[in-house]
């Protein structure tokens, strides 16, 4: 087995300590577009705690993706310019509190070496726990490093993605993004200049800064939240999405959704460019 494969596969970082408050919870909700209508009480519940009529602040389930921003199994020494998000799969063990001190345990699950000049996919998981040691959420991320690979890792095949139903979507919705949305979302933790620096974006092969893949991921959670979940954040058990193309801030994301029992399948596209940006999406409600 190659030394590089063993190095990556052995990465582990346990007991990482983090804390967040309602400020971070509201910023994340606003960062994925909730609260655009200042009179929409259902969306305001995620970005405003209420004053004259107090109400408990709600937490968007996928806030779990930034609650312990920076947590990871360790330094992977990848070509940062060529790294993109491949997939996210979050399992929710219980609703996230509005504020908390948490710990994060991270480890590499598997390394898929696609060969020289084809890149490598690294799957790693982070388990978030509360102060009692109870699991809050398990995050599995697949990172596609386009500038790496070909180091002699084992020939492994990635698991098959969730299959989207072949019938016509049961529901289709449009979600607009703001031209400055990436500049807001980056305040949740991801300062990758690919999303804010035009010069850096061009160096990476894009005509202008792109929206964070994880912002698009949050937008798809929002899509399920406002439709089949009826804004009940506690209903989410799992949210999975595979990234296939970037969204540019200001574009409209069109989500197609299919409901089969407690499973919601979804895909998302940008019609103006004729591209699919999210594939093989799945939300499990319960």
CA atoms within 13 A on the CB side of 199: 0
Predicted confidence (pLDDT) at residue 14 exceeds the cutoff of 90: yes
Helix (H, G, I), strand (E, B) or coil at 282: strand
Distance, CA of 128 to CA of 17 (rounded, Å): 10
Averaged pLDDT of the chain: 94
- Residues 64-78 have a mean pLDDT of 95
Instruction: Count how many Cα atoms sit within 13 Å of the Cα of residue 5 in the half-sphere of its side chain.
Output: 16
Which residue of the set 195, 212, 239, 256 is catalytic? 195
Tens digit of pLDDT for each residue in 20-68?
999 999 999 999 999 999 999 999 999 998 889 888 999 999 999 999 9
According to the model, what pLDDT value does residue 2 have?
87
Q: Which residue is catalytic, options 85, 105, 113, 190?
A: 190
Active site residue 260: no
pLDDT tens-place string over residues 156-201 = 778 899 999 999 999 999 999 999 999 999 999 999 999 999 999 9
- Determine the pLDDT at residue 131: 97
Q: Which residues contact 172 (CB under 8 A, 6 or more apart)?
A: 254, 255, 256, 257
More confident: 150 or 286 = 286
Does residue 154 surpass a pLDDT of 80? no
Interacting residues of 4 by C-beta distance below 8 A, sequence separation 6+: 151, 152, 153
Say whether 45 sits in a helix, a strand or coil.
Answer: helix
Based on the residue annotation, tell me whether 93 is a catalytic residue of this protein.
no
Confidence of residue 1 (pLDDT cuts 50, 70, 90): low
| Residue 147 clears pLDDT 90, i.e. is over it | no
pLDDT at 232 over 70: yes
């Amino acid at each position: 087995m190659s030394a590089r494969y063993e190095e990556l596969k052995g990465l582990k970082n346990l007991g990482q300590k983090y804390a967040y408050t309602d400020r971070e919870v509201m910023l994340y909700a606003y960062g994925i577009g909730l609260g655009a209508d200042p009179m929409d009480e259902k969306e305001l519940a995620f970005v405003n705690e209420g004053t004259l009529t107090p109400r408990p602040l709600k937490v968007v389930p996928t806030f779990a993706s930034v609650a312990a921003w920076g947590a990871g199994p360790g330094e992977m020494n990848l070509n940062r310019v060529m790294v993109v998000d491949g997939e996210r799969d979050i399992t929710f063990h219980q609703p996230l509190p509005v504020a908390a001190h948490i710990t994060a345990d991270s480890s590499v699950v598997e390394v898929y070496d696609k060969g020289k000049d084809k890149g490598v996919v690294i799957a790693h998981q982070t388990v978030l726990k509360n102060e009692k040691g109870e699991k809050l959420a398990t995050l599995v991320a697949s990172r596609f490093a386009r500038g790496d690979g070909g180091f002699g890792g084992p020939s492994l095949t990635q698991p098959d993605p969730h299959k989207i139903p072949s019938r016509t979507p049961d529901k289709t919705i449009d979600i607009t993004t703001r031209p400055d949305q990436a500049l807001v979302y980056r305040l949740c933790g991801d300062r990758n200049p690919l999303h804010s620096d035009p010069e850096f974006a061009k160096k990476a092969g894009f005509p202008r800064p792109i929206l964070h893949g994880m912002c698009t991921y949050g937008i798809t959670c929002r899509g399920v939240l406002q439709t089949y979940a009826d804004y009940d954040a506690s209903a989410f058990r799992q949210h999975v999405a595979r990234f296939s193309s970037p969204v540019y801030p200001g574009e409209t994301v069109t989500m197609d959704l299919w409901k089969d029992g407690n499973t919601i399948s979804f895909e998302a596209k940008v019609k103006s460019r004729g591209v699919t940006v999210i594939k093989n999406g799945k939300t499990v409600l319960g």
